[in-house]
Amino acid sequence: MRKLRGFTLIELLVVIAIIALLLAILMPALQRVKKQAQGVVCQSNLKQIGAASFMYAGEYDQFVPRGRAGGTGKAWFQLFMPFLSQKPINNDYRSVDIYRCPSYPDKEQTVCYVVNGWRFNSPTDMTGSEIVDPSKLSECEQPAFTIFLADNEDGPWRHIVTSAASDGHNRCDVWAPQHLPNRDETDVTRGRRVARARHRKGANCLFLDWHVEYVATEDHHIDMWRFDK
């Protein structure tokens, strides 16, 4: 008679141990690939918003919205909506994936970017103030070096925006030194608004020449937000 053979308990344990070891080796690499893919999607979203910004400027005499409402009573993400391929449903922005960064921790957040709403009195002004009126693109002296949009920070002091009427929809802008990623303030009004470590140790940014670039937090500085260099 043929003798039936099977795996011994020790052999099974060895196989399980090898599989566990391989998973332990592969998981960090898979996590890195996942984060890289999310970063690519985020940059793609910013490029699409950049295209919408360009078309908006073409429709409005080369003006772009700034600050909390762009001087129109509507936030920047509302103003760009007609130029995007996706539309809100009954004023609910959860159907608009272009405004979402896949790396944002709270998946209820629909506006994962903040706009440049900063005005400076002079090139040496290191404080500045909020601007609500739109600005003409020609006012920006170095568009390739001036940030227009950046990753929105997450935290208990940052509002979750799901519609144009959500609390905090007017706080999706940057206009104070405390809003920058290298600051530690967590106040609702004057707390950090640019993500410190959304992608690696920095944030993705859309510049006013409409290119998208990763900016490390250690390289982020106030001059990147000045229209007048």
pLDDT in tens, 44-55: 999 999 999 999
As a whole number, mean pLDDT of residues 182-200 equals: 96
Whether the predicted pLDDT of 179 surpasses 80: yes
**In the structure, what pLDDT confidence band is assigned to residue 95 with cuts at 50, 70 and 90?**
confident
Whether the predicted pLDDT of 98 surpasses 80: yes
Higher pLDDT, 41 or 92: 41
- Among the residue ranges 11-20, 51-60, 153-162, 210-219, the one predicted with the least confidence is 11-20
Q: What percent of the chain has pLDDT over 70?
A: 92
Higher pLDDT, 220 or 133: 220
Whether the predicted pLDDT of 180 surpasses 90: yes
As a whole number, mean pLDDT of residues 66-84 equals: 80
Higher pLDDT, 165 or 213: 213
pLDDT given at position 2: 56
Phi, psi of 68 (to 5 degrees): -70, -25
Higher pLDDT, 31 or 21: 21
Question: How many whole angstroms separate alpha carbon 45 and alpha carbon 104?
Answer: 13
pLDDT given at position 194: 98
Whether the predicted pLDDT of 69 surpasses 70: no
pLDDT given at position 165: 83
Question: What's the predicted TM-score (pTM) here?
Answer: 0.84
